[in-house]
Amino acid sequence: MNIIPTSIPDILLLEPQIFQDSRGFFLESYNQKIFTEKLGITANFVQDNHSKSEYNVLRGLHYQIIQPQGKLVRAIVGTIFDVAVDIRKNSPTFGQWVGYELSAENKRQLWIPPGFAHGFLVLSEIAEVIYKTTDYYAPGGDRAILWNDPDLAIDWPLKTPPILSAKDSNAQTFKNAEVYE
């Protein structure tokens, strides 16, 4: 697995080794031994999520204040622009974000540890995204930060206004959001 450091050291962009021939391809998307020994990630994944979205759908920026989730994210169909925002108040990168294109073609994954808000924008006609989480969904702790918050200034690759859920349209600003102490 190729590890690509990001400007936020706790977030890793991962490129799996791909074995390809005339029949197709094979890759390991997760191997606990490699994650622990090579990446230092000792996360215990407890839930897998799968979403399908159309072009220009923007989901996020989501996080849980109760039962924070680490996420291992990848697109298995289409292309997304995946974003993580550091919302750990005592972190040197608090309020900073990173964003990367994840696609079925490039097969990259993004490791986002607990303590980050997460969102993505669909760049292809459709996209299917799967991600492992380190804790279970906790509806009472579910929170969202406004996707276009001016203090975060995320450079979303938008051509037109995104398609949003009511929850995401009415999310908190970064200044007013509950963050991790």
- What local confidence, expressed as pLDDT, does residue 62 receive? 98
Beta bridge partners of 18: 27
Mean pLDDT by 10 residues, the chain (181 residues): 94 94 92 91 95 98 97 98 98 98 98 98 98 96 97 97 97 96 81
User: Between the CA of residue 51 and those of 48, 80, 152, 161, what are the distances in Å?
Assistant: 10, 12, 25, 21
- What local confidence, expressed as pLDDT, does residue 181 receive? 81
User: Between the CA of residue 160 and those of 24, 41, 85, what are the distances in Å?
Assistant: 35, 37, 23
Catalytic residue among 30, 55, 131, 136: 131
Catalytic site includes residue 55:
no
Helix (H) or strand (E) holding 37: helix 32-37
- What local confidence, expressed as pLDDT, does residue 133 receive? 98
- What local confidence, expressed as pLDDT, does residue 157 receive? 98
Catalytic site includes residue 131:
yes
CA distance 4 to 14: 6
The Cα angle at residue 175 between residues 177 and 165, in degrees rounded to 5: 50
What pTM did the predictor assign? Answer: 0.95
Q: How far apart are the first and last CA of the chain?
A: 33
Catalytic residue among 62, 63, 100, 118: 62
**Residue pLDDT, tens place only, 50-78:** 999 999 999 999 999 999 999 999 999 99
- What local confidence, expressed as pLDDT, does residue 1 receive? 87
- What local confidence, expressed as pLDDT, does residue 16 receive? 92
